């Protein structure tokens, strides 16, 4: 199957007309017709929008039939070959598991020293390793994924998340000073900032999951 035939089949599978696709990609209907009849090929800057529209990867669009298996293996290790939805799902997985690691690290530190009477140095080292591992996972993930042009709705969502997280951060700072000056437990109250980070990531995760549910509908 050549590229034109593939574009034709993908459009039909989505129950879209050539006019529908042309409007979404901001080109003419004649351009879509030429692509599907192999009179011309999509410009480079239209490849990603096409893939997002048809919910496939660039490799799946451009590869030959015999290359499908290799493409699937590459996709597992290359975010650039993933669709926007696949990246959102991967992000939700990374954030949720990282939050869990953070919780385990905090719970361990709160139990190991006062309850189990573990060596404070060893307990703190394990805590920092867990926190570092979780943080590194998220940083590596967000630095690896490609940048997509955000829709108006996504920009509004991002601003809302930022505003909620700013409120959470401010409240945690206030709570930190109140608890610290009241209990004088400065050696442990800094965990409040870890909890603040957890809450901020939880907010992001909630919005990610809501976005996935909406996309699936």
In the CATH hierarchy, which top-level class contains the domain 3-77?
Answer: mainly alpha
pLDDT in tens, 55-114: 888 777 877 554 444 444 444 445 555 666 777 778 888 888 888 888 888 888 888 877
Q: How far is Cα 192 from Cα 195, in angstroms, rounded to an integer?
A: 5
Domain ranges of the chain: 3-77, 83-216
Rounded distance between C-alpha atoms, residue 199 and residue 202, angstroms: 5
User: CB of 75 within 8 A of CB of 81?
Assistant: yes
pTM of the model: 0.46
Phi, psi of 59 (to 5 degrees): -65, -40
Give me the residues of the chain with pLDDT under 70, please. 64-84, 146-151, 211-217
Q: Across the chain, which distance is largest between two alpha carbons, in Å?
A: 76
Q: Closest Cα to residue 136, out of 164, 94, 166, 100? A: 94
């Amino acid at each position: 199957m050549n590229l034109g035939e593939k574009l034709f089949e993908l459009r039909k599978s989505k129950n879209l007309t050539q006019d529908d696709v042309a409007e979404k990609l901001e080109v003419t209907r004649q351009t879509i017709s030429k692509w599907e009849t192999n009179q011309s090929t999509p410009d480079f800057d239209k490849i990603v929008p096409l893939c997002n529209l048809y919910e496939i990867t660039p490799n799946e669009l451009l590869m030959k039939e015999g290359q499908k298996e290799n493409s699937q293996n590459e996709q597992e290790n290359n975010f650039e070959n993933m669709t926007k939805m696949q990246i959102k799902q991967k992000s939700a997985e990374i954030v949720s598991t990282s939050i869990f690691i953070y919780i385990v690290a905090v719970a361990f530190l709160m139990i190991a020293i006062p309850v189990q009477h573990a060596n404070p140095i060893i307990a703190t080292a394990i805590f920092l390793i867990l926190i570092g591992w979780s943080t590194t996972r998220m940083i590596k993930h967000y630095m690896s994924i490609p940048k997509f042009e955000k829709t108006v709705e996504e920009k509004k969502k991002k601003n809302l998340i930022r505003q909620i997280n700013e409120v959470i951060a401010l409240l945690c700072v206030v709570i930190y000073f109140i608890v610290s000056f009241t209990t004088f437990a400065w050696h442990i109250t800094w965990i409040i900032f870890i909890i603040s980070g957890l809450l901020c990531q939880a907010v992001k995760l909630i919005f990610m999951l809501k976005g996935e549910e909406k996309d699936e509908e």
